[in-house]
Every structure is written in C-alpha cells, then in structure tokens.
Structure 1
Amino acid sequence: MKQFLLAVFCLLLAVSAAHAQSGYRVKSGDTLSIEVLEDASLARNVLVLPGGTFDFPYAGTVRASGRTASQIEAAIAQGIASNFANSPTVFVSVVSLRPPVERRDPPPPRTMSVYLLGEINTPGIREVSPGTTFLQALSQAGGFTNFAAKKRVQLRRTNPKTGAQTVSVINYKALSRGAVQNLSVKLQEGDVIVVPERRLFE
C-alpha cells in the first residue's frame, strides 16, 4: 500500500512539473533538453543564446526566447520533418534557468555575460570582468577539448541596437604562436565563442 501511494505521489509531482513548464516562456541563458523519438542521436542539451535562438541539426537556427516548450517542439519538428518518412516526435523541456548574477553588499564590480559553446572543457555562460580578452575567457573555461578545431574558432557578436550579428573566425593556433597580432581582442556583453569539432585529419 505504501509503495502504491508513493508511486501516485511521484506521478502527481511529475504532472505538476510538466504543467508548470507548459506555460513557462523560455529566456536567453536557459538550457533546454531536446529529444527526437525517431532518432536518439539528436538528443542533446542546448543553451539559448543572447539573441534568443539556438542551433539544431537539420533545423538550423531555432527561435526559443518568448516561446513555450510545446511551441519550440513544433518549430523543431517542422524544421527537421523533411529528413523523416513521418512527422517526427520532439520533446523539449527546460532543464535549467539562466543563473542570476550573485549580489553582495557592497555590490561586486560590474560584470558581463559571455557564452562559450562547443569543444570547450566547461561550456556555458560565464560572468567576466569588462576588458576580459578572447584568450582569457578561453583559459577561464578550461581550454579546449581534444576534438577542438582550433583554427576555426568563431566569435559571434550581436549589435545591441540593430540586432545584426557578425561572425569572426579566429585561428587560435596562429594566435598562440604569435603569428597574429590581435591577442588582446576584448570581449563585449553577449559575445558568443563557438569552438567547432575538428574534421578528420584537421
């Protein structure tokens, strides 16, 4: 009897959590868990970028900010539908919210948020001091994984006034050898560093 009551209680908790998520509007900085029933290889966690979007295989760039999980599911399903014989079944859930900046008395020095994604040892959002450089941010994130394409590191920057995004490709290997003289490129609020996976023989 106790086991039955415990099972019912757990079920009620799960239903309650699902109901709470159903009305939540996703924000930049949230982490989403995505699963496609028909293709387990597409399962992954994604970070919603400052522009309110994330990238997903076959679907490209998907808008998430301001949408519910069910709306994001529909957008992904539509984007990947051409790769499946039947309409794919997509599940999206919010696994973590953007962590708030910790405040103390007296308040800490002003910080800014930058995003590090891809083949980095500790990817995610980092709060860094103004003036932090590209190389310093990579170092603070633990550097690259063994699969990093160090010659093709992307620095994505969004203009806060126009929303236009510029993408700079940086050759980290050349930087580390001193072959390129922009070692001190300084990051700005909302910058995104993306380290792609290296190709075979790269």
Structure 2
Amino acid sequence: MSKIFSILTAALLFVIPQLAAAYSIGPGDTLHVDVLEDPNLSRQVLVLPDGTINFPGAGTIKVGGATPAAAQNTIADRLAPEFASRPSVYVSVAGLAPESEQTEKPKNIYIMGEIAKPGLVEAEKGVTLLQAIAQAGGFTRFAATKRVELHRVDPNTGRERIYIYNYRNGQGLSGATPLAKGDVIVVPERRLFE
C-alpha cells in the first residue's frame, strides 16, 4: 500500500507543475500574488480585458497569455528597484474568468478523419471531447483510437497546440476536457499492426 502511495505522490509531483506551466493567464482571471519580503503587497488582482494587471510599486503589467511562473518573474523584476535585493514573488490562479453569455451560444467544433460523420459539429456550452466524438457518430473501424488529436489555437499567441487523447486507456488528454470554439478533432487512420 505504501508503495502505491509513493508512486501516486511521485506522479502528482510530476503532473501538477506540468499543468501549471501549461496554463495561460487570460482576461477575467483572478491572480493571487504573494510578495514574501512585504506581506502588505500580497493581494488578489483581476486580469483586465487587455491582459494587464495593476500592482502597487510595479504599475501596469502585461500578463495575458503568460504562465503564472512568467508573471511572477515579471512582477519580481518590476518590484526589484523598490527592494535591497530582488523580492520573492509567487503567483497562483485564484479564480478563472467567469463564463459570459457569449459562451452559451453553440460552439463550432470540427471533426475530421476516421469518424462516422466528419465535419462541423455545433456543440453546446460545456461539451467535452468525448461527447463531441459521440455527437459525430463515433469512430469508424479504421480509427486509431490511441492517437486522437485535439488541435487548439491559443487566441493570445495564435500558436496551435496539439493534444493527444488515448480513447482505449484514457492516457494523455482527458476525454472530459471541455472544448473551445474552433477546436479541431483529428482521428487518424490506424496503422497496420495498431
């Protein structure tokens, strides 16, 4: 039992920093900023629609599209002239942007490849990857269900990221991942001995 606990702990210690490193701060998010050298500066701040925050002693700082680690480095650099040595700053996401009325409209999701009904899927708010696949009629018999791809473009940077979902054993991206407007699901063809 203790061996299983050790393995789970090690897995969490590896996965949680990876997830935090992958999160991009967006408008409407609430950040918790801790400044160890001056607790009076520690506070929660709202990311404004232009992706900036206002922080005492640092002024207006662009954090939209950055990871929490990048934001804490920027804040520490901006506060450094106010301290004898560079301060220790920690940024965490205290709250995600609230969903607006716009997200209640159907989202256009695209599915292609080895799927029963490829094409455009008008998905409702909160639809997940697995639900969208089911809505498109499910996989064909030639589908490589271990290598389903979710293509998503970061609206802040314009860069496309590809996430892999393994339908057979649930590894990689979760089938419960909520989809965003414009997501493309690609179901590749199975290889010979796959």
TM-score, L = length of structure 1:
0.45
TM-score, L = length of structure 2:
0.46
